[in-house]
Amino acid sequence: MGEPVEAELVPITAELNDIYHDDEIREESDRWIRLYNEFIKVFGSTPQLIARSPGRVNIIGEHIDYSLFPVLPMAIHADTLVAMETKETETEGCFKVQIANLDGQQFPKESWEEANDSDIAIDEKTHAWTNYFRAGLRGALKLLREKNGSGWQPRSMSIMVHGTVPPAGGLSSSAALVTACSLAVLYGQGMKRVEKLELTRLAIESERAVGVNSGGMDQSASVMSVKDAALYVQFAPSLSVRHVEFPKTNPPLVFMIAQSFVKADKKVSGPFHYNLRVVECTLAALMLLRQLLPKDEKLPNPLPQDDSPLNISLGAVSDLFWTNLYSDEHTRKRYPDAAEAGVGMIQRLDFFANELIDKVLPSETYSKKAIADTLGVTEDDLDQNFIKKRFPVPAERFRLRDRAKHVFSEAARVYKFMDLLETGPKAGESDLQFAERLGDLLNQSQQSCRDNFDCSTQDLDLICMHARDAGSLGSRLTGAGWGGATVHLVPASKVNSVRNALQRNYYHDMWVDGKRLTPEEIANAVIVTRPGSGSAIFHTS
């Protein structure tokens, strides 16, 4: 296990092999040169820097980061590049922004002016591609103003973007874009020492401005990953990460990513999917808190006011329960079977998932009224503080029990997965048997995402079934779900068998957006991946 990451700085380099694995450099350097030349063609001058931030695949720990439980993603080599040049402003009191994309036809060029002290406007309704840049720009300017004092004036910026993370593909294209944009603005506007943790926090906040009440996993993986190591991310008591290497096994194990081509565009489906799950997990936490606390103990009042869903989280509630259990005779009496269960973190989480939740949240769904009555607040309080605040969701009923069961069981699986990585194969156990135990955890995660969290689709289930039949040891959706990508733990000797099975059974004769998939798109739909490096600044001059 690597050492915890202190206030490390985003690396500044002029070497592509600091960023990519050797066999990726050829295709990437062609792309970088194309971006550099197109920048000169469109803006008539050369970029001073290229900021880069990758997408990520989540190995295990799905939909638990906003409940403050640790997760295990890894950066992939697909990334967003942001080439930038800053110049003195021409007109006093404001600065100019012009932004283009290497895929000009898909993402049209925009240019506009901003007043020096403007709080960059983002219209969530337009879903403009530049909204992600605006989100990054807003966050970066806020930090720059804090650091430089109020007299500081931003310089005008020319930006050209190019991303290779498939949009709405469950590989965090949004976090890669927001993070790369924030990094480019910070560095381009004069912050020559960018701390990884500071950039990560900024990117997490910025991304919420686009209308998704997201957790912090993607931005953490995008910024803080290092080559050849997965990233163990903890959110409580504060954001911290550890680099995790995989044990060498025989046969060697690889991770494969398979796209479903089902667009999971969270900006559009948020109120019915992602943002609704955040509300359900938050309400489940409140209901648990109310019933796990002694009757006479009041809920935190007023109910938490700040934006993030992290103020009342399932992670915080379970921590509070176990602390109370050991310090409060009254709680121990009410939950006698908890005392002997909750010795280690895994036992505590399994106890919640398998026993406590069914007792405390027995109903399949809860109406707003039932929740309000249990909490001793009005339905309007719930609307104001959680259901309609900032990320409004239209739901009137909430599936609290199953969401909570998923979260606690998934959090336990992350700890189990980490334990396995740390201990390696048991005495007398073959590497393959050991790998099968890792794979089982991934399969259990997929089942819980499907049955308890309801964020899978039949396409994702189909891909996982065919991959397992063809030799994958563990297959699951990765990212928010509802489409997007899947991740598979596969012995190297089975990679072709899995790829062929998916091409034969899933991608064969497939149409996306009215067009048949080309052989190249099918070939790129299933990739072998490995842990890539995080954000970096490429200094061109």
Contacts with ligand NG1, residue ranges (CB under 6 A):
58, 62-63, 65-66, 170, 172, 174-175, 207, 212, 214-215, 217-218, 266, 479-480
Query: Shortest gap between Cβ of 266 and ligand NG1 (angstroms)?
Result: 5
What, of ligand NG1, Mg ion, none, does residue 415 touch, CB below 5 to 8 Å by kind?
A: none
What, of Mg ion, ligand NG1, none, does residue 52 touch, CB below 5 to 8 Å by kind?
A: none
- Strands (DSSP E) contained in 102-212 are 110-115, 156-163
Query: Shortest gap between Cβ of 266 and Mg ion (angstroms)?
Result: 6
Distance of alpha carbon 311 from alpha carbon 303, whole angstroms: 9
- Strands (DSSP E) contained in 235-281 are 240-244, 253-259
Of 63 and 201, nearer to ligand NG1 (C-beta) is 63
Query: Shortest gap between Cβ of 205 and ligand NG1 (angstroms)?
Result: 12
Dihedral sign, CA of 298, 310, 205, 12?
positive
Sheet holding 485-491, edge to edge: 474-478, 485-491, 253-259, 526-529
Of 242 and 277, nearer to ligand NG1 (C-beta) is 277
Of 114 and 207, nearer to ligand NG1 (C-beta) is 207
Distance of alpha carbon 270 from alpha carbon 444, whole angstroms: 25
Residue with tokens 């135990």: 437
Of 256 and 495, nearer to ligand NG1 (C-beta) is 256
Query: Shortest gap between Cβ of 176 and ligand NG1 (angstroms)?
Result: 9
Question: Which residues from 160-189 bind Mg ion, rule CB under 5 A?
Answer: 172, 174
Query: Shortest gap between Cβ of 152 and ligand NG1 (angstroms)?
Result: 29
What, of Mg ion, ligand NG1, none, does residue 280 touch, CB below 5 to 8 Å by kind?
A: none
CB atoms within 10 A of CB 266: 22
Distance of alpha carbon 261 from alpha carbon 510, whole angstroms: 9
Distance of alpha carbon 135 from alpha carbon 10, whole angstroms: 20
What, of ligand NG1, Mg ion, none, does residue 66 touch, CB below 5 to 8 Å by kind?
A: ligand NG1
Query: Shortest gap between Cβ of 450 and ligand NG1 (angstroms)?
Result: 14
Of 196 and 273, nearer to ligand NG1 (C-beta) is 273
Query: What kind and span of H or E run contains 419?
Result: helix 400-423
Query: Shortest gap between Cβ of 121 and ligand NG1 (angstroms)?
Result: 21
Of 175 and 526, nearer to ligand NG1 (C-beta) is 175
What, of ligand NG1, Mg ion, none, does residue 350 touch, CB below 5 to 8 Å by kind?
A: none
347 contact partners, CB below 8 Å, separation of at least 6: 341
Burial label for 530, CB within 10 Å (0-12, 13-18, 19+), is middle
Distance of alpha carbon 36 from alpha carbon 30, whole angstroms: 10
Query: Which residue, judged by CB position, is nearest to Mg ion in the bound state?
Result: 174
The residue annotated as part of the active site, out of 218, 350, 402, 461, is: 218
List the one residue out of 426, 518, 497, 456 whose CA is nearest residue 62.
Answer: 456
Task: Classify 230 in phi/psi space as left (phi over 0), alpha (psi -120 to 50) or beta.
Answer: beta
Query: Which residue, judged by CB position, is nearest to ligand NG1 in the bound state?
Result: 479
Is 218 one of the catalytic residues?
Answer: yes
Of 174 and 213, nearer to Mg ion (C-beta) is 174
What, of Mg ion, ligand NG1, none, does residue 217 touch, CB below 5 to 8 Å by kind?
A: ligand NG1
Q: Does 275 bind Mg ion (CB under 5 A)?
A: no
Q: Are 471 and 496 in contact (CB under 8 A)?
A: no
CB atoms within 10 A of CB 426: 11
Q: Does 220 bind Mg ion (CB under 5 A)?
A: no
What, of ligand NG1, Mg ion, none, does residue 275 touch, CB below 5 to 8 Å by kind?
A: none
| Tokens of residue 74, six digits | 């890894």
Local structure of 84: helix, strand or coil: strand
Amino acid of residue 187 = Y
CB atoms within 10 A of CB 295: 8
Given the rule CB under 5 A, which residues bind Mg ion?
A: 172, 174
Point out the residues that are catalytic. 218
